[in-house]
Structure 1
């Protein structure tokens, strides 16, 4: 973890309002030090200096994270979400070393008006409120183009890219994609586990593939310059999207089913097809996802087993990281919203030891220091590290964004 970014002045979420008067006040999880620091990296002084240099000097992009802070008491989770003011973890982000983060919000659990989530008005409310907060400080900037990411890098800021894990909220209205783009959304998924009007999700018994409406939506996404994510789509739908899209697509947060055989992972055939069309796979680290036979207790090492497999499969030019972390008890979130998040269907009958957190990849503040440290310790070159921590993502965005 780096020292606090000089640009960050100590702003906390919604400081421009009066807590207790303008919004309900909660006690929130610690953004730094909630769990013990990762002890699995044994770096020499020179390796540590190299890790810090790469994290400090290079463009570092998370393809998928959730940068909100969650309540200390997860029993208050639904009350907190219904209040409609998810706080951005500015302090933790200031220690992350990231140049840009694709923040996917929590719209699958956005239960302001409905426990089912994914309601269009709720999503717009969530996006608007969080954008208003970002506009009141100077460290995190709303990013809508590569120019914004480069500007953040040059000025010591962090570029925040709004993204959504599914297009469920557009229902059968393709023009809603334009509205979301106008709000600043620059990446969107097709389906989140459950099937929707566009196509099949990974939890369904059968995947009928991309619908005719889904084809129209993908075409509109390409025209708008919306990056497409197929992480939670069913296998057939994912393949259809790869073939239909005129631009490369992302698998922003996933791993290989050949390494860990659950529906939450993508089969190598889909990963290979994505790469062959120019796309990129971001390695996932949400609790109990990217496990491996060698490291079934989820940790940085489990995730890097998927990384090594992916590099062997599709080459280092098509691999990145989308850790899918947050500030707070991620396992508690999964337990509280198991139905919304389809955790049972995603993991199937595969047995694994349950952990309280993913050691080494617990939150956005620590992920990339440990990822880069692992790569340094395993003798990857600076050029190889630059590719997987940001360069490969930049290459795709140069083709996709307008």
Structure 2
């Protein structure tokens, strides 16, 4: 596995824990344990090494965020600025470019309801400060910046936001976010906002007048529009209104797993027909499969990938695992009510998995997805498109 340059830096090591901020116990060595090893033959290993060495690998959604070891610490941990970022884990991931939202949806510094302007700006500022103190990851603002990742053996972070709720009714805030480096933004999260309906709303009124202003401004500035958490009609309206391709950075197919969090064929096809891309998600309780409803593994996740390839074509799919370090399910439980997570996952009668086998964190997720495709005899040219080529095509168009 390719390992990016890493000098041992830990989050906020320029500060003193206990004096400048409160530290919480974090998971240690198990953050990097690959619990699901996909064994490759010598020939397959050479293919894997070739892909990692020569082809850009893009995660449409992943996180360096570390969940505290004790579930009871999650809320107080997220109420402070100093949540920790795993530079070593990302260095081990082999990923070149990551759409990273810095967990803006759970930034609850001043409000337990989250998604507030001041909280998100503070979260971005403190994370950017921490990033400036190390050399493993860097902030990418242009397509040229993104291209530097493979060349310099670092990880390019494309600053993103989960939802545009923080705009309230101020369209000029889009410009402010762009000026701060944000290059991708979701329109809604699970609930409705001033732009449109989220995917848990019973009635989807579509993209609002203000939402159309925001789409137009994002197009003008050169910011990627993400509809992963939008309601179906809102998604269709955004795709139609946008002059540039729209991304579904982390989702799956509703025909494979019937839940609001997955996208119906109509939305998937519309996204692809306008040049967009769908990234396959691997967060717990999302991309399950009706074939194995109680067993969330890499197999069920990749069932979504293969369905999407058959539906929209290989030029319009990518990978957006949406993983981080530590107990993902514990964090879901901590923020369930605030973010309507259970509603977004649907009401099927299934046993909640404690993790996704083979796709627990960024260190193992992308590598295992690539290995899975190699074992399934995907051609190297096909893998190249899925792991980065398709995403880079759109990024070159929007960010250049």
CA contact (8 A) 2:32 2:89 kept: no
Shift of 1:33: 4.5
Distance in 2 between the 1:344 and 1:8 partners? 37
Equivalent residues in 2 for 1:325-344 (5 A)? 325-344=323-342
CA distance, structure 2, for counterparts of residue 133 and residue 354 of structure 1: 35
SS in structure 2 opposite 1:349? coil
The equivalent of 1:283 in structure 2 is 280
Secondary structure (helix, strand or coil) at the match of 1:65 reads coil
| Structure 1 counterpart SS, 2:21 | coil
Deviation at 1:70, TM superposition (A): 1.4
| Residue 167 of structure 2 is aligned to residue 170 of structure 1 | yes
- Give the Cα separation in 2 of the matches to 1:49 and 1:21: 49
**TM-score, scaled to structure 2:** 0.97
Q: How is 1:156-305 mapped onto 2 (pairs within 5 angstroms)?
A: 156-296=153-293, 297-305=295-303
Matched, 1:76 2:73: yes
In the TM superposition, residue 295 of structure 1 has moved relative to its aligned partner by 3.1
Equivalent residues of 2:12, 2:130 under 8 A apart: yes
Partner of 1:51: 48
- The question of whether the paired residues in 2 share the 8 Å contact of 1:56 and 1:97 is answered with no
Tell me which residue corresponds to 1:103: 100
Which residue number in structure 2 is paired with residue 14 of structure 1?
12
List per-residue Cα deviations over 1:305-346 (Å, max 9, x = no partner): 000000000000000000010101000011111112312211
Separation in 2, partners of 1:393, 1:226? 14
Partner of 1:126: 123
| 1:27-38 → structure 2 map (5 Å cutoff) | 27-30=25-28, 32-33=30-31, 37-38=35-36
Aligned partners of 2:24, 2:50: CA distance in 1, in Å? 37
Aligned-pair CA distance for 1:224 = 0.9
Does structure 1 retain, via aligned residues, the 8 Å contact 2:34–2:364?
no
CA distance in structure 2 between the aligned counterparts of 1:56 and 1:27, rounded to whole angstroms: 35
Q: Give, in whole Å, the separation in 2 of the partners of 1:23 and 1:327.
A: 21
Secondary structure of the corresponding residue to residue 105 of structure 2? helix
Match of 1:309 in 2: 307
- Find the aligned partners of 2:203 and 2:162 in 1 and give their Cα distance: 20
1:325-370 deviation digits (Å, cap 9, x = unpaired): 0101000011111112312211222122222110111001111110
The residue number in structure 2 matching 1:143 is 140
**What SS is found at the alignment partner of 2:59?**
strand
Residues 1:288 and 1:31: Cα distance change in structure 2 (over 3 Å): farther
> How far off is 1:4 after superposition?
3.4
The answer for unaligned runs of 5 or more in structure 2 is: none
Gaps (5+ residues) in structure 1? Answer: none
* Alignment-derived partner of residue 4 in structure 1: 3
> Are 1:367 and 2:400 counterparts?
no
8 Å contact kept, 2:332–2:341: yes
**Displacement, 1:87?**
1.6
For residues 22-63 of structure 1, the C-alpha deviation after alignment (integer angstroms, 9 at most, x for no partner) is 211112123654665204x34222212322331233200100
Cα contact 1:32–1:92 (8 A) shared by 2 = no
Q: Measure the CA separation in 1 of the matches of 2:362 and 2:226.
A: 20
TM superposition score normalised by structure 1: 0.97
Contact 1:108 1:340 (C-alpha < 8 Å) held by counterparts: no
Distance of 2:52 and 2:251 partners within structure 1: 23
Alpha-carbon distance in structure 2 between the residues aligned to 1:127 and 1:60:
24
Question: How far apart, in 1, do the equivalents of 2:122 and 2:349 lie?
Answer: 39
How many Å apart are 1:197 and its aligned residue? Answer: 0.3
Residue 169 (structure 1) shift: 0.3
Match of 1:24 in 2: 22
Which piece of structure 1 moves more, 152-161 or 290-299?
A: 290-299
Does the 8 A contact of 2:187 with 2:226 survive in 1?
yes
Partner of 1:90: 87
* Cα distance in 1 between the residues matched to 2:19 and 2:3: 30
* Helix, strand or coil at the partner of 2:183: strand
Aligned length, in residue pairs: 399
